[in-house]
């Protein structure tokens, strides 16, 4: 039923249903690394939930998906409370949404229409985010995003990634948290699935879930897509299994820092590159919306040949003083937005296959 035709009672009922359904989808996606529906279906539910809430603001529930980030950390891992929350990103689905974003930023900052406003654009890597804490240059802990406030302790697993230095290079601040995305390339993903199908993987030896009538013991899982393969491979109980999985990392953000090495997003990301992290070569800075959109189109055109999944382009206000003034709303920063690629161009998501051996 169109949102405009809903009665308040129907809206309340629908919001309750959406909260329950999406909480279950979140659990399957984040905790089990086994999505029940495609991202497009999931995003459509999120948009529907937002539209109903916009029409009936009094009915917004405490457990609404529009207020939540990710899902609670799994009991399989020790927990780490993030010194600074790890949030999600607001979405833009059209050029007009991007123009609205820039207008909102200008209005909030009371900037004139012709005042300069530099914004960066970079690929939105389809993996899972990870926060790496360095003290005196040494890696001391690594945590997944979890529900944004508390993540899963995957320190031993993160140490096995060749892209993650155990010691920061050069002069690093006393405390510095590097944040970025763990991902898997298409080629590595295909090879891993092939290996899993043959039962040639250390994880095949450990019973992932207890045996039951419905799920016999010794399952070898193949992964639905590189994102789930990355999440499932990082979130292993045995770090040696993680070591055997070809995981990579791009750094694009930071958390707590005793000193921030730069005054802009681009400067700090370049500094993080200097600390020894891979940073994405397609990150660029623009002074106008036209440049952003052009870069978006160019990244979209390169999408099929990048060798790893991306699901959009992230724009971020470059000046950190402006970022600070803009701050955050419930689940995302006001200074950034993810410009998603349209659904029909999205890569096909293959359903997870479970092979019993
Ligand atoms: P999101 O993935 O759309 O955006 C936020 C995340 O983008 C950040 O946390 C970060 O990890 C990542 N990111 C990648 N590159 C980045 C960059 N360059 N700069 C900044 N961040 C970058 O939002 P979300 O809240 O993590 O999750 C929603 C996504 O997960 C949607 O795509 C949704 O479809 C999917 N999802 C799917 C299901 C399902 O059942 N299919 C369930 C839950 C979530």
Quick: pLDDT tens for 60-70: 999 999 999 99
Among protein residues, the one whose CA lies closest to atom 2 of ligand 1: 88
Domain boundaries defined on the chain: 3-68, 79-185+245-345
Least confident of 167-171, 320-324, 349-353: 349-353
Q: Is the pLDDT of residue 200 over 50?
A: yes
Q: Is 40 known to sit in a ligand binding site?
A: yes
- pLDDT at position 355 is 37
For residue 128, report the distance from its CA to the centre of ligand 1, in Å. Answer: 8
Instruction: Reply yes or no on domain 79-185+245-345 having CATH 3.30.2270.10.
Output: no
Tens digit of pLDDT for each residue in 44-99?
Answer: 999 999 999 999 999 999 999 999 999 999 999 999 999 999 999 999 999 999 99
Q: Is 43 known to sit in a ligand binding site?
A: yes
CATH number belonging to the domain at 3-68, selected among 1.10.287.610, 1.10.3720.10, 1.20.120.450, 3.30.750.24: 1.10.287.610
- What global pTM score does this model have? 0.91
- pLDDT at position 1 is 86
- pLDDT at position 63 is 92
Atom of ligand 1 nearest to the CA of 336: 20
Burial 242-268 (b: 16+ CB within 10 A, else e): bbbbbbbbbbbbbbebeeebeebbbeb
Q: Is the pLDDT of residue 181 over 80?
A: yes
How much is the average pLDDT of 122-137?
97
- pLDDT at position 219 is 54
Evaluate whether 331 touches 87 at the Cβ level (below 8 Å): yes
- pLDDT at position 330 is 84
Quickly state the pLDDT bin for 33 (edges 50, 70, 90).
Answer: confident
- pLDDT at position 260 is 98
Return mean pLDDT, the chain: 91
Q: Measure the CA–CA gap between 310 and 226, rounded to whole angstroms.
A: 10
125 lines ligand 1 (CB under 6 A): yes
Q: Is 41 known to sit in a ligand binding site?
A: yes
How much is the average pLDDT of 198-206?
70
Q: Is the pLDDT of residue 351 over 80?
A: no
How much is the average pLDDT of 174-194?
97
How much is the average pLDDT of 318-337?
96
Fold identical between 3-68 and 79-185+245-345? no
Q: Is the pLDDT of residue 131 over 70?
A: yes
- pLDDT at position 213 is 52
- pLDDT at position 346 is 43
Catalytic residues: 124
Tens digit of pLDDT for each residue in 217-275?
Answer: 445 578 989 999 999 999 999 999 999 999 999 999 999 999 999 999 999 999 999 99
How much is the average pLDDT of 172-189?
97
250 lines ligand 1 (CB under 6 A): no
Q: Is the pLDDT of residue 37 over 60?
A: yes
- pLDDT at position 12 is 95
Quickly state the pLDDT bin for 113 (edges 50, 70, 90).
Answer: confident
Quickly state the pLDDT bin for 14 (edges 50, 70, 90).
Answer: very high
352 lines ligand 1 (CB under 6 A): no
Among protein residues, the one whose CA lies closest to atom 36 of ligand 1: 39
- pLDDT at position 210 is 45
């Amino acid at each position: 039923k169109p949102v405009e035709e809903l009665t308040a009672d129907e809206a309340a009922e629908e919001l309750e249903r959406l909260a329950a359904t999406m909480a279950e989808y979140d659990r399957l996606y984040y905790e089990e690394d086994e999505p029940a529906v495609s991202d497009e279906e999931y995003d459509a539910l999120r948009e529907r939930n937002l539209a109903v809430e916009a029409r009936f603001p009094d009915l917004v529930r405490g457990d609404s998906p529009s207020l939540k980030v990710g899902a609670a950390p799994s009991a399989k891992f020790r927990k780490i409370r993030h010194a600074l929350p790890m949030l999600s990103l607001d979405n833009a689905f059209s050029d007009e949404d991007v123009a609205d974003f820039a207008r909102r930023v200008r209005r909030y900052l009371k900037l004139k229409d012709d005042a300069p406003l530099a914004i960066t654009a970079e690929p939105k890597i389809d993996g899972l985010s990870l926060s790496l804490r360095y003290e005196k240059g040494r890696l001391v802990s690594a945590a997944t995003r979890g529900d944004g406030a508390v993540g899963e302790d995957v320190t031993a697993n993160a140490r096995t990634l060749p892209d993650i230095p155990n010691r920061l290079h050069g002069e690093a601040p006393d405390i510095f948290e590097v944040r970025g995305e763990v991902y898997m390339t298409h080629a590595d993903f295909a090879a891993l699935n092939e290996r899993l199908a043959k039962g040639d993987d250390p994880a095949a030896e450990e019973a992932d879930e207890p045996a039951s009538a419905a799920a016999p013991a010794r399952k070898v899982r193949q992964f639905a897509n590189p994102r789930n393969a990355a999440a499932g491979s990082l979130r292993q109980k045995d770090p040696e299994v993680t070591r055997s999985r070809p995981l990579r990392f791009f750094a694009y953000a930071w958390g707590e820092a005793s000193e921030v090495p730069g005054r802009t997003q681009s400067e700090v990301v370049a500094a993080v590159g200097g600390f020894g992290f891979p940073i994405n070569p397609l990150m660029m800075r623009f002074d106008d919306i036209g440049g952003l959109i052009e870069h978006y189109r160019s990244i979209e055109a390169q999408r099929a040949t990048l060798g790893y999944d991306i699901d959009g382009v992230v724009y971020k206000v470059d000046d950190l003083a402006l970022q600070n003034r803009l701050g955050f709303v419930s689940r995302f920063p006001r200074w950034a937005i993810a410009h998603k690629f349209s659904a029909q161009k999205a890569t096909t998501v293959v359903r997870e296959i479970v092979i019993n051996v």
